Structure 1
Amino acid sequence: MAGGWSRDGAVQEQIDSTVEDALQRARSELPRGESLTHCEECGEAIPQARREAMPGVRLCIACQSERDRQRTVYSGYNRRGSKDSQLR
């Protein structure tokens, strides 16, 4: 069902596009390359099991947990451009 000036399926296309953008962003943040043996922030040794489980890991668990906690939430943008979103 289309609403307003949009064609049928436009809303689903917007949802699919937003999900694809989020997946692409998440994939771009995955570590790549060879894992480090020591954390690049605190210098602690990174356990072998972590290096094998996460190829390309650069931080120990404690530093990665802290970085994840400080990460801001990405809200994206409103592709529909509704009046409500423009008034906020």
Structure 2
Amino acid sequence: MASGWASDEAVNQQIDSTVNDGVERARQAIGQGESERYCQECGEAIPEARRLALQGVKYCLACQTEMDKQQSNLSLYNRRGSKDSQLR
């Protein structure tokens, strides 16, 4: 299925790129290493229960929630730009 001047493989490349970006974001979200005692964003103490529950936590719950909201807004980017996918 060719679309305009794009090759048949272009659509598959865009889909693969979108999936790869999502996988990379998920890998970066996984905590690694020792948890911080104080939030890197606001400096507030991170509760011990949170530090023990999540490996490599770096932000307090309030800052992490705000960062997650911003990240979810970025993930709505539409690479393909087709009209019907923009209407959803």
Does TM-score exceed 0.5, indicating one fold?
A: yes
Tell me, which stretches of 5 or more residues in structure 1 are unaligned? 83-88
**Partner in structure 2 of residue 2 of structure 1:** 2
User: Residue 8 of structure 2 aligns to a residue in which SS?
Assistant: coil
Tell me, which stretches of 5 or more residues in structure 2 are unaligned? 83-88
| Structure 2 CA distance for partners of 1:14 and 1:46, relative to 1, 3 Å | same
Deviations 1:29-71 (A, max 9, x none): 44332102343424324233x22332110122123223334x2
**Partner in structure 1 of residue 48 of structure 2:** 47
| Structure 2 CA distance for partners of 1:5 and 1:43, relative to 1, 3 Å | closer
| Structure 2 CA distance for partners of 1:29 and 1:9, relative to 1, 3 Å | same
Q: TM-score, normalised by structure 1?
A: 0.57
Which structure shows the higher helix fraction? 2
Amino acid at match of 2:60: C
Q: Percent identity?
A: 43
User: Is the Cα contact below 8 Å between 2:46 and 2:59 reproduced in 1?
Assistant: no
**Count of aligned pairs between the two proteins:** 79
Q: TM-score, normalised by structure 2?
A: 0.57
Q: What CA distance in whole angstroms lies between the structure 2 residues aligned with 1:43 and 1:6?
A: 51
Q: What CA distance in whole angstroms lies between the structure 1 residues aligned with 2:15 and 2:67?
A: 29
